Chain A
Amino acid sequence: MVMACRVINKRRHVGLQQLSSFSGTGRTFLGPVKSSKFIVDEEHHESILISSVVRLLESLDLTSAVGQLLNEAVQTQNNTYKTGTSTLLFLVGAWSSAAEECLHLGVPISLIVSVMSEGLNSCIEEVVSLQVPIHNIFDHIDSTKTFSGLETCGVSLCPFLQIPSDTGLQKVHDLKDVASPSLTVYNLSGIPVRSPKLFRLQAEDEANKNTLQNPQTLKKSLLADSRCRKSILIHSRHFNRTDSNRWINKPEGFLEQHGAATPRTYRCNDLVELEMGLSHGDHNSMKLVDAAVRLQFQNASTQQGNCTIPFMFDISRIFTCCLPGVPETFSCVCPGYITVVSISNTTLIKELQNQPVQIILIEGDLTENYRHLGFNKAANINTLLESMKVQQDSSEEQWTDYVLQVLIKFNVTLVLVQGNVSEDLIEKCMHSKRLVIGSVNSSVMQAFAEASGAVQVAYITQVNENCVGSGVCVTFWRSIPSDVIDRINILTIMIKTEGINLVTVVLTSPLPAQMQAREDRFWTCAYRLYYALREQKVFLGGGAVEFLCLSHLQILAEQSLSKRNHVCSGWLHNTSSWLASSLALYRSTVLKCLANGWHKYLSALMYNTANCSSELGASTVIQQHLQSATDSGSPSSYILNEYNKLNSGIFNSGISNKLEQIPSVYDIVAPKTEAWRRALDLVLLVLQTDSEIITGLGHTQINSQETEAAKMDVFSLCLHVFPLYLCPNFLFL
């Protein structure tokens, strides 16, 4: 695989530079509009289409120590939360440049580490004020209002990104000046994508003036009644506000704005609104997630009757079935298990239809040679043939016959196997009208175990009457027109049983190359909703939290400049070091560098979503917002005000005729803040590393990252030490 690597400046910290250059490869994945990448393998003439950071890193050569650490961090984030990896990758780059900048300015490493680390802590405390609690979302779930209904109005009526500007922003930027007047962004499938953002340019495109909305939309836009947001502000000891217009904590815990005409409380208790906010422009995927959640909810309510236990969205009971080569519009959600079987099963399925069948579940492979994990087959056993009886059957055939006998004995018609199944057996079973399906997902097995009463076993010999489940139906699944499905020559079947807690999401894509990206996108949306519901809170999204971090850090930086306060001396682990007393000297520099990382993040976000035609333009807009936020005295209330303007729609109508419903954008809390932490941790880990020691004997390959200075007489030690941080007085130089 080929990797673009920028020229690494040899006078600086090599590790940090590597991080920056790795991170640069993923910047187009930031935000809701992701550009896909082709990865071309020049040796094997293969190429793959990717649109996520995890897939990108899978294709990159990350054998260097720093690359491996980066990959490890991204993988852990992905394994734990399944989201936040592009944020992680971007911030790694932005903050490694920030750390390098600090080094360049002569800030001692230990100070960079403590100030950056505590600065981010302070940000994480600060953004609590932008949390929106989610309460009892399933108590008043509206079955008539589904995601798809709202989505069509949202997308079809306002296919453009432009939003009338707010007053806080001076009319400086006019997109007429910019080379690309069209603001419409199309994703690969040709569906316009819109992404509500906090920051928008004033765009006075002539064409947009025609997009007048009808009063009906206005009504819908005033959904604000049902949308209440409650925010909790934790008073930060780092951030003492002295202005009058601030948010205070009322005794009952509701946030109220002083000086505002009417106090508002905020919360999100509408599922569609939440999903809309979490879709980040990917309505197609979120529509499917919405349908899946509703199916699970209905299933849970019917199972429980009067539900006593609050409904929890169980993501492990969502299964995806990918059908490449089918147009995207056929994606859908169905209860039960939908899978693809060989077309030769058609007659068998026909016979099995319309009658409940008995089922068994096999945990391992269903082959003669399969033994459970940890079983060691003795190699030195010979079987002696005592008589000269001619063996009629091979042991394989004997085994197959035995399996069939068991199936007949317990009247089992359906066998789900987690591992592989012997081809012979499938054949024989088909003749005796039994269906065996291999490579079944473990959560599907679990769902069938629960619903049908079957017990999973490892060997066919273990099967007894207690292990057999019943009441399972097998039918053709014909939601996709036969002319479409016949073209790709597969057979889709649905296996169901009464009350099974399993939902299959059928994902289709006309291009097989896009199939994986489609599945990844679905899971991203599903996990976003899952974490939002599990944490029972979300952040205001669209860059609001990042913007608050940025302005908070700027205020902190200025405070430490003006006051030189010693409040922050606790920011250092080691208070007796001279670094503690000189902390005030460097604190604002480091905080500014950290804030620059957020600035870069926001500009890249705006640029990627085509809110701005250049990152420079985006940067200017952010700068202006930042100024207004600082002037307002309380950045968090500034952001909330901006949000109100966007959400209510009332403000917009006063300015122009353009009226549209702008749903809130939400972000998940813990996965996001953990991605920040992980990114900074990785940067600080690499920053504090001064050398790379390659151990072991007998290898000649020396990393290409070493400089001339690394040629040291250490080979008698049989180790290679490469200084990562080329400090002039470093011992190895």
Chain B
Amino acid sequence: MSRLEAKKPSFCKSEPLTSERVRATLCVLKGILTSSYGPSGRLKQLHNGLGGCVCTTSQSSALLANLSVTHPILKILTTSMQNHVSCFSDCGLFTAILCCNLIENVQRIGLMPTTVIKLNKHLLSICTSYLQSEFCGCRILVDFSSTQTLLCLVRSIVTSKPACMLTRQEIDHISALILRAFLLTIPENTKDCLILGKSIIVPLKGQRVTDSTVLPGILLEISEVQLMKILPIKKSDTFKVALFCASLSGDLSDTGEGTVVVSSGVSLENAVLDQLLNLGRQLVSDHIDLVICQKVVHPSLKQFLSMHRMIAIDRVGAALMEPLSKVTGTQPIGSLGSISPSSYGSVKDLCTEKFGFKHFLHLIPNEATICSLLLCNRNDTAWDELKLTCQTALHVLQLTIKEPSVLLGGGCTETHLAAYIRHKICNEPESILQDDGCTQTELQLLTEAFCSALESVAGSLEHDGGEILTDMKYGHFWSAQPESPSAVDCPDLLSRCGCGLYTSQEELRWSFLKSTRHPFAPQTCLPHEAVGSANNLTLDCFTAKLSGLQVAVETANLILDLSYIIEDKN
């Protein structure tokens, strides 16, 4: 008996952005994001209210993944941010805040969406071509002959995640480890193309952060009972390895639907076990030293293997399979039938190690581009945050190898870029006016909206009520004590700019970021000696930031362009 229900009519809404409700929710979302931004950003406790685990974070990936938004406009926003984060790991909050700022500023000036979109695109292309140009004043080419720039980049990322709860020494330790882990994934001799290896993060919660370490090769966790059963490892040049992705637990895998009928006296379990033992005999005759299985190995098979002086490690999990196969040069074996000898691989050395309360079997490969980053932190929520941070940093390093430049961080790139655009539009507006057929006023209004959106992203770095200044020479970001109008005239109160490149010793003029000022030409072309001498710079990933800028402007354009929302209510 079926029941028919009349279809509900679709729900159509025009000019969605003008609704008060949408504005309010956008404002809340922006509030969550801006308050989390930067090294002194505030943390958010995310949990389901039903006793699930509590995640304390200020990272966009964790925040966006947990916010279940329903409004289509917010969905567009969060989806494109998540998409950016999944591709580039870094600059997620920057992208999201910039997008929110753009939408907010453009709404305020009330221009036609088509004009806005055209002009936004123009301004974006000015930004991207400037950032990629040789005379860009906020981009540094990475010098791979020293680790300094890369270390600064990693340290900036680690510092910007306060929920990791690291002290200064711990930040230095972890940053150095991340860089070492990354360097271990670079193959020593490459021909045409560089194929990077992988750093595996091994959890060791509850220990001191400074106990974290990096080891080449793979660590397989083993229980103490297992450790006892491993006989003293005999010395050998190489150890022959067989890697199984099929379960060797001895159960009947997938009997399908319906019923299997067997006659009495026949034991399927024993039949499977016999098959497993046959497999074991083949492994013995092939002189295997180490058997690794993704899933469970039957205790009887384990006993058989250990009697023949083989080490059997089971339940290594799917995540380790690819690195294991790479390190050992094995083909994961998926069946219990006969094994082709070509699927076996080898490792150079094996040893057992103990870290904290955990025992590990350490596989040392012949040619290593795989390393294990043993990561410790005091509590679970800080460990989770630290793991995310390490993954981000490792990803950023990979991106930096592809595109060997970094951008000045700490808000300096944003303010510098805003100053550059203001100056450019003020001095040579003709090119845009000709192309787009808009008026001079429209162009000025939108430029102001665009630049102040960029600047307020930089301003979001401040969470304790401080004033934000910018200097009139480089267009960099400076922070000053709240309620100190004298800061503009009194350089003593300012120490260094946001990225740390310039100090207040120079003869600089400052103005408040919020105040209106005359466009000036920020100094382009970073002098090499300035960059070389400055250590402890705050740096951002070039690729991630550039993409973030593009994603933010394009998403804002998309949202501004929406005139109807049609929802199917069925």
Where the two chains meet, the residues of A that have a C-beta atom closer than 8 Å to any C-beta of B are: 15, 63, 65-66, 68-69, 72-73, 76, 79-80, 108-111, 113, 117-118, 121, 363, 371-378, 380-386, 442, 446, 449-450, 455-459, 461-462, 466, 569-571, 573-582, 674, 677-678, 681-682, 684-685, 688-697, 699, 701, 703, 712-714, 716-721, 724-725, 731-732
Contacts and interface: CB of A to CB of B under 8 A. Distances in A.
A732 B31 contact: yes
A461 to B, nearest CB: 7
Contact of A681 (B68, B382, B536, B538): B382
B249 A375 contact: yes
Given A573-B171, A578-B479, A689-B56, A374 B496 contact: no
B311 to A, nearest CB: 15
Contacts of B303: 455, 457, 462
B41 to A, nearest CB: 8
A449 to B, nearest CB: 7
Contact of A714 (B25, B42, B168, B295): B25
Interface stretch (B43-51, B337-345, B347-355, B559-567): B43-51
A76 B205 contact: yes
Contacts of B27: 731
Contact of A381 (B45, B163, B268): B268
A717 B67 contact: yes
Nearest to B259: A380
Interface stretch (B423-431, B444-452, B461-469): B461-469
Interface stretch (B7-15, B189-197, B373-381, B546-554): B373-381
Given A459-B299, A682-B379, A685-B165, A378 B159 contact: no
A363 B225 contact: yes
B28 A714 contact: yes
How many chain B residues sit at the interface, stated as a range, is: 35 or more
A121 B169 CA distance: 10
Contacts of B255: 378, 380-381
B162 A380 contact: no
B43 A685 contact: yes
A696 B48 contact: yes
B378 A577 contact: no
A578 B34 CA distance: 19
A110 B378 contact: no
A384 B40 contact: no
| Shortest Cβ-Cβ A-B pairs, 3 listed | A374-B296, A458-B299, A108-B464
Contact of A695 (B68, B165, B380): B68
B298 A690 contact: no
Interface in B70-99: 70-71, 74
Contact of A576 (B35, B207, B498): B498
Contacts of B42: 109, 688-691, 725
B378 A681 contact: yes
Given A574-B40, A576-B496, A713-B21, A65 B50 contact: no
A538 to B, nearest CB: 19
Contacts of A449: 228
Nearest to B258: A380
A574 B21 contact: no
**Among the interface residues B163, B257, B481, which one has the most CB atoms of the partner chain A within 10 A?**
B481
A681 B538 CA distance: 25
Contact of A65 (B45, B68, B224): B45
A378 B67 contact: no
B47 A719 contact: no
A561 to B, nearest CB: 19
A678 B296 contact: no
Given A688-B43, A693-B32, A578 B480 contact: yes
Nearest to B253: A376
B69 interface: yes
Interface in B242-273: 247, 249-252, 255, 257-264, 266, 268
Given A685-B165, A694-B48, A699-B50, A575 B500 contact: yes
Find the residue from B27, B54, B381 having the highest chain A CB count within 10 A. B54
Given A69-B379, A695-B67, A717-B71, 9 more contacts: A80-B207, A109-B42, A371-B251, A569-B495, A573-B168, A574-B39, A682-B379, A689-B42, A713-B28
A121 B247 CA distance: 49
Contacts of A456: 225, 229
| Of B74, B249, B314, most A-chain CB atoms within 10 Å | B249
Contacts of B357: 80
B365 to A, nearest CB: 27
A418 to B, nearest CB: 10
Contacts of B224: 446
B24 interface: yes
Interface string B459-500: 000111111000000000011111000000000011111111
B203 interface: no
Most chain A beta-carbon neighbours within 10 Å: one of B266, B298, B307: B298
Interface in B16-39: 21, 24-25, 27-29, 31-32, 34-35, 39
Given A65-B47, A69-B56, A76-B206, A378 B40 contact: no
A576 B500 contact: yes
> Which of B25, B257, B296 has the most chain A CB within a 10 Å cutoff?
B25
A30 to B, nearest CB: 21
A380 B67 CA distance: 42
B47 A380 contact: no
Contacts of A688: 42-43, 162-163
Contact of A63 (B51, B228, B314, B499): B51
B326 interface: no
Nearest to A120: B167
B300 interface: yes
27 contacts: A66-B45, A68-B54, A69-B54, A69-B56, A76-B378, A110-B40, A381-B262, A383-B266, A446-B224, A462-B299, A574-B538, A575-B496, A576-B497, A577-B462, A578-B467, A579-B479, A678-B379, A681-B165, A688-B42, A692-B44, A692-B47, A693-B67, A695-B67, A696-B50, A696-B68, A713-B21, A719-B69
Contact of B298 (A372, A446, A574, A681): A372
A118 B300 contact: no
B28 A701 contact: no
A299 to B, nearest CB: 19
B66 interface: yes
B410 interface: yes
B481 to A, nearest CB: 5
Contact of B45 (A383, A581, A682, A689): A689
A384 B264 contact: yes
B53 interface: yes
B163 A579 contact: no
B165 A578 contact: no
B308 interface: no
B44 A383 contact: no
Given A576-B479, A576-B496, A713 B25 contact: yes
Contacts of A693: 32, 44-47, 66-67
A717 B29 contact: yes
B54 A65 contact: yes
B381 A374 contact: no
A552 B69 CA distance: 50
Contacts of A65: 45, 47, 54
B118 interface: no
A724 B45 contact: yes
Nearest to A697: B68
A74 to B, nearest CB: 10
A578 B481 contact: yes
A69 B168 contact: no
Given A375-B250, A462-B303, A699-B50, A685 B496 contact: no
B208 A717 contact: no
A109 B40 contact: yes
A691 B44 contact: yes
B315 interface: yes
Nearest to A573: B159
Given A380-B258, A695-B66, A690 B380 contact: no
Contacts of A72: 54, 379-381
